[in-house]
Amino acid sequence: MSEAELYTEYKGIYLPKHLHPPESLKFLEEFTFRHDDIIVVTYPKSGTTWMQEIVPLIQSEGDMASVLTIPNWDRMPWLEEYRAMLLNLDQRPSPRLFASHFHYSMMPESFFRVKPKVIYVMRNPKDVFTSSFHFCGMASFLVKPGTVDEFLEKFLSGKVMLGSWFDHVKGWLNAEEQGRVMYISYEEMILDLNDSVSRIARFMGKSLSEEVTKKIADRCTFKSMKQNKMSNYSLVPQEVFDQKKSEFLRKGIAGDWKNLFTETQMETFDAVYKEKMKEVKFRFIWD
């Protein structure tokens, strides 16, 4: 099916209709944040599910109950998805934990006024592309990617769900509320998960012992999360996520783009990246 059939355009950005009926977008527009809310913000395929495991475990200081009994999408719900309307979020105790894929410019009025905490997770866009290419092939509510060349053209011009990776990252890097935003990359988490857990905990205002930090990091490895049915999306019916085609927790590595891209595709990607990111001062781990 085509973009016109599967996507809605909101503030100039494609969103899958299946997840975002108009009421859910209105819900977020009218949402009231609390100053101590913690929102993990990501461009899709940058490590959202991973954070939905790590952050609740830090909050509970290593108590496993929530990750063993509550699916990731209710544990740390996406504010812009329809489920957020069903969860009585105003009755959750502080600090509430949320996720969002929205661009900075798409956040609602209350966000800018109340300034909740944000953990912004970035990933090498070539790996985001690769993960997204496989994901679009298995999720029924997304437009099929076509060939790598076809998907590359759409991805680089932002004609995919959630729009341009470049605009997403630049928007959040330029966020006004700098003291309230923590920037971390998927690759840093791959390199040293223990250290990443401890930095995230500090940002959340939690002081964890070395033992608890390690316990959380061990629980959040790719291998361990793949076995957790509350986090591996096995609860989602096959008609929606066909994990026989591609698993949601697919490879969990940095650099898988090398297995997908030809030399020419890499050069095309790099040229667009260089142009679009030329004014960005932030030093990415993959540069």
Query: Which range touches ligand A3P (CB under 6 A), out of 40-48, 73-81, 158-166, 169-177?
Result: 40-48
Query: Which range touches ligand A3P (CB under 6 A), out of 13-21, 26-34, 48-56, 76-84?
Result: 48-56
Q: Decide whether 21 or 252 has the Cβ nearer to ligand A3P.
A: 252
Which candidate in 18, 20, 35, 101 is catalytic?
A: 101
Q: Decide whether 34 or 137 has the Cβ nearer to ligand A3P.
A: 137
The answer to whether residues 213 and 201 touch, using CB atoms and an 8 Å cutoff, is yes
Nearest CA to 262 among 117, 152, 120? 152
- Judged on CB neighbours under 10 Å (0-12, 13-18, 19+), 205 is exposed
**Burial per residue of 51-78, b for 16 or more beta-carbon CB atoms within 10 angstroms, e otherwise:** bbbbbbbbbeebeeebbeeebbbebbbb
* Cα–Cα dist 200/193, whole Å: 10
Q: Taking CB under 6 A as the rule, does residue 276 contact ligand A3P?
A: no
Q: Count CB-CB contacts under 10 A for residue 195.
A: 13
Q: Taking CB under 6 A as the rule, does residue 44 contact ligand A3P?
A: yes
* Cα–Cα dist 14/5, whole Å: 11
Number of alpha carbons in the 13 Å side-chain half-sphere of residue 40:
29
Spell out, one character per residue from 91 to 130, where the chain touches ligand A3P: x when CB under 6 A holds, - when not: ------------------------------------x---
Q: Taking CB under 6 A as the rule, does residue 131 contact ligand A3P?
A: yes
Q: Taking CB under 6 A as the rule, does residue 256 contact ligand A3P?
A: yes
**Minimum distance between the CB of residue 134 and ligand A3P, rounded to whole angstroms?**
6
Q: Taking CB under 6 A as the rule, does residue 220 contact ligand A3P?
A: yes
Q: Taking CB under 6 A as the rule, does residue 164 contact ligand A3P?
A: no
**Minimum distance between the CB of residue 35 and ligand A3P, rounded to whole angstroms?**
26
Q: Taking CB under 6 A as the rule, does residue 56 contact ligand A3P?
A: no
Name the one residue in this structure whose structure tokens are 């006024």: 113
Query: Among this protein's residues, is 18 annotated catalytic?
Result: no
- Whole-angstrom CA distances from 279 to 31, 85, 166, 175, 275 are 33, 39, 12, 15, 9
Active site residues: 101
List contacts with ligand A3P (CB under 6 A): 42, 44-50, 127, 131, 134, 220-222, 225, 249-252, 256
